[in-house]
């Protein structure tokens, strides 16, 4: 049993790291490197409704709207949904609404969560396609021009229910933000590329994604009781056999937490949300038609089990080191091998991402901190999130998962 425990600790991240590296190289070679969409007449491009849910975002909302108003896309509207903000968010929106002809405001009096805010935005929208961005996000001017062709291209475009973009880090002055630059490229980016090669994705990136409105309505839109709206809607769409694609050229610049407390709260929400969604959709194994989702489901379960094993092994290592004065060299060697694979993964990812951000390879140096800091933090997060995630089995679906504005970085 001990040997199985150690082998799982070693081989799970090793094998998954190799799979992500190979999968991302395949995606880059076949679908990304030389891929160009056919030219479309700008007058033929469909109308898009851009939704921006906001809760206590007085520090960022005006910048987000200003940049959103400058997109190189012919026909779109901007709908900001103020979800029960207690700060000056609503006052700022009212003061600038006349300055931006594309801007409309939906005011939700009580905080009922991001998922509910997005639902209200869809009900008020005019577009055939629904784009959503976070209230601290700055869209690349050509982002929609890279995403919308996925929906209207003659080759299986009608099956596409959502296209998720490529999140980039805006703030990069602290160690934590620089680590996240590497993480978003080499963990999130590689995973999405690999999952697209395999056919199904765990989640769209909530910071920027575009949906086909018909697909959203068909799937029942977002679950208002889940703590992570993006993971939940991804599974609902794919269970209804809508395709989700990844477009790395559609860039969206975002702010990330730069404090341990901010990172902890953000990742705890992500971890809990992943557990909630997996538990809600555990019945997929009774439907053979959902078989392409099986690998994504199993990988998520294994990642939770690995984090639990990592946490237990760390406790055992510390106990033996402190109380028995026993230094376990094999465990340390396992960590060294995993760190090498992790750095190789970072190198491949940053090499690919250099096409979208010049000079990003210099951040590889900061990636050495990822295995040291994040593996331990992620293991603790799973332990903390598991009891809360299990509560989804008893939760009333009519409840609202409320939210609060996250840590946007030290400069704010």
pLDDT above 90: residue 33: no
Measure the CA–CA gap between 28 and 16, rounded to whole angstroms.
18
Domain ranges of the chain: 2-24+289-393, 48-259
3-state secondary structure of 73: coil
CA 85 to chain centre: 24
Where is average pLDDT lowest: 69-73, 123-127, 183-187, 368-372? 368-372
Measure the CA–CA gap between 19 and 25, rounded to whole angstroms.
10
3.40.50.2000, 3.90.550.10, 3.40.50.880, 2.60.15.10: CATH of 48-259:
3.90.550.10
Q: What pLDDT shows up at residue 147? A: 94
Across the chain, which distance is largest between two alpha carbons, in Å? 74
278-298 pLDDT, tens per residue? Answer: 999 999 999 999 999 999 999
Q: At what angle do helices 175-183 and 369-390 cross, to 10 degrees?
A: 80
Q: Confidence class of residue 395 from pLDDT cuts 50, 70 and 90?
A: low
108-123 pLDDT, tens per residue? Answer: 998 888 999 999 999 9
Measure the CA–CA gap between 379 and 21, rounded to whole angstroms.
23
Question: Would you state the structure tokens that stand for residue 331, as one six-digit string?
Answer: 């465990």
209-228 pLDDT, tens per residue? Answer: 999 999 999 999 999 888 88
What would you report as the CA-atom Rg of the chain, rounded to the nearest whole angstrom?
A: 21
């Amino acid at each position: 049993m001990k040997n199985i425990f150690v082998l799982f600790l070693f081989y799970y991240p090793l094998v998954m790291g190799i799979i992500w590296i190979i999968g991302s190289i395949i995606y880059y070679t076949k679908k990304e490197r030389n891929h160009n969409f056919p030219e479309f007449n700008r007058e033929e491009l469909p109308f898009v409704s851009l939704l921006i849910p906001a809760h206590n975002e007085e520090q960022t909302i005006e910048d987000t709207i200003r940049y959103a108003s400058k997109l190189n896309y012919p026909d779109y509207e901007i709908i900001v949904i103020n979800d029960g903000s207690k700060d000056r968010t609503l006052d700022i929106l009212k003061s600038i609404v006349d300055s931006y002809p594309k801007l409309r405001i939906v005011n939700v009096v009580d905080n009922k969560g991001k998922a509910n805010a997005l639902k209200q935005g869809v009900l008020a929208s005019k577009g055939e396609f629904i784009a959503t961005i976070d209230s601290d996000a700055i869209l690349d001017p050509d982002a929609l021009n890279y995403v919308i062709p996925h929906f209207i291209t003659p080759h299986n475009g009608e099956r596409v229910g959502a296209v998720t973009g490529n999140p980039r880090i805006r703030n990069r002055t602290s160690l934590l933000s620089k680590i996240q630059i590497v993480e978003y490229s080499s963990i999130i980016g590689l995973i999405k590329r690999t999952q697209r090669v395999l056919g199904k994705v765990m989640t769209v990136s909530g910071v920027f994604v575009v949906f086909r409105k018909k697909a959203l309505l068909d799937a029942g839109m977002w679950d208002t009781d889940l703590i992570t709206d993006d993971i939940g809607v991804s599974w609902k769409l794919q269970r209804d056999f809508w395709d989700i694609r990844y477009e790395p050229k559609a860039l969206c610049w975002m702010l990330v937490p730069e404090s341990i407390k901010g990172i902890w709260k953000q990742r705890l929400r992500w971890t809990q949300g992943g557990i909630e969604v997996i538990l809600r959709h555990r019945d997929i194994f009774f439907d053979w038609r959902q078989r392409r989702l099986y690998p994504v489901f199993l990988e998520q379960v294994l990642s939770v089990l690995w984090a639990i094993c990592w946490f237990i092994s760390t406790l055992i290592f510390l106990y033996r080191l402190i109380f028995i004065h026993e230094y376990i060299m094999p465990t340390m060697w396992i960590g060294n091998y995993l760190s090498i694979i992790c750095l190789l993964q970072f190198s491949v990812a940053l090499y690919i991402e250099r096409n979208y951000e010049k000079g990003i390879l210099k951040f590889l140096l900061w990636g050495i901190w990822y295995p040291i800091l994040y593996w331990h933090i992620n293991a603790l997060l799973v332990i903390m999130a598991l009891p809360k995630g299990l509560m989804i089995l008893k939760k009333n679906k009519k409840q609202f998962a409320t939210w609060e504005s996250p840590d946007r970085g030290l400069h704010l």
